[in-house]
Amino acid sequence: MKIVILDSTTANPGDLSWDFLKKYGDLTVYDRTPPSMVPSRGRGADILIINKTVISRESIEQMPGVKLIALLATGYNVVDCEAAAAHGILVANIPSYSESAVAQQTFAFILEYANRVGIHADMVRSGAWTNCNDFSFTAAPLTELAGKTLGVIGFGRIGRRVARIAEGFDMNVLVNTAHPEKYAEYPYRFLPLDTLLPQCDFVSIHCPMTPATAKMVNADFLSKMKDGAFLVNNARGGEVDEAAVASALKSGKLGGMGADVLSTEPPMADNPLLSAPNVYITPHIAWAGRETRVRLMGILEQNIAAFINGAPQNIVNASC
């Protein structure tokens, strides 16, 4: 059994070990793989492990020996799953490993906006408090979360975790989801977007990327939001019309935004959000805590062991 990892660096920048895979076969690890080298590096592998390396139909046709593409991620849009199925290749993803981490990142954005810890800490470091005439000063408006309303769009594992955390801050929670009937046991109001958006002080996106959600957060969406509301996107960058959001931030329609994902990663220098006011952007790190990555690699091992034992799990292209 030959196992090849095409892009190990983001999941394991060096603080963890891939040695646990060696008991399943001969292991080759590449930090990164450019598109042109995917076929040559993957050729001869039985199991191909990837994170964000694109596996196209053309690459699949040049790697006839591959039997399993094992993702180091939940999303599988980087793989042509239909082509993989046509060539008898299974594609396994890693679901439900990062809900705690992504929910934590969501509230990192919300709390930064509410408490402005960063700007005040920077001012203290620069001497502003030392030179202040009073025992206390504020450099930006502060917000108490209790009593505020959070709109959660998408109610999978991450959306549900975010809603529970919001309850701990005594926030009101409104939910928009495609299938509210599945969640009758939850004590939240399930509303259509047109009704939800005008009521929310904070809106957090947690739905999967589909044709229906592509650029869902557009000018029309933003026009329905409460003036000065704060938007969080830790789902997929393609769900946001970045030019429309930048315009709303500049006009003050949006009070601020926190985003861990952008439409193109790394972003182009002219991405309008990079120069917009009151926006906090992090480089797709919500999933990258050590504990989360240990869990990720543990499920990867389970997927590989299950495949080798003839009972593959977490297969996303079985119906293709």
**Of 58, 82, 144, 265, catalytic:** 265
- Residue 319: pLDDT above 70? no
pLDDT at 209: 87
By the 8 A CB rule, do 196 and 188 touch? no
pLDDT digits (tens, 9 = 90+) for 294-315: 999 999 999 999 999 999 999 9
Q: Nearest 5 degrees, angle CA 292-CA 284-CA 272?
A: 165
**Of 236, 239, 293, 295, catalytic:** 236
Distances (CA, A) of 270 to 46, 243, 250, 251, 267: 41, 11, 16, 19, 8
Q: Model confidence at 96, in pLDDT bands (50, 70, 90)? A: confident
pLDDT at 301: 98
**Of 120, 167, 284, 301, catalytic:** 284
- Amino acid of residue 294: V
Domain covering 2-96+290-308 assigned CATH 1.10.3720.10 in the classification: no
Tokens 């182009």: give the residue: 268
pLDDT at 56: 97
Class of the CATH domain delimited by 99-281? alpha beta
pLDDT digits (tens, 9 = 90+) for 127-182: 999 999 999 999 999 999 999 999 999 999 999 999 999 999 999 999 999 999 99
Domain(s) labelled CATH 3.40.50.720 in the chain stretch across 2-96+290-308, 99-281
At 3 the three-state DSSP class reads: strand
pLDDT at 104: 98
- Residue 320: pLDDT above 80? no
**pTM of the predicted protein model:** 0.91
Strands 229-233 and 254-259, bridge-based pairing: parallel
pLDDT at 259: 98
Q: Could you give the CA distance from residue 293 to residue 280 in angstroms, rounded to a whole number?
A: 23
Among residues 173, 172, 183, 168, which one has the least CA distance to residue 153? Answer: 173
pLDDT digits (tens, 9 = 90+) for 225-283: 999 999 999 999 999 999 999 999 999 999 999 999 999 999 999 999 999 999 999 99
Asked if 265 is an active-site residue, the reply is yes
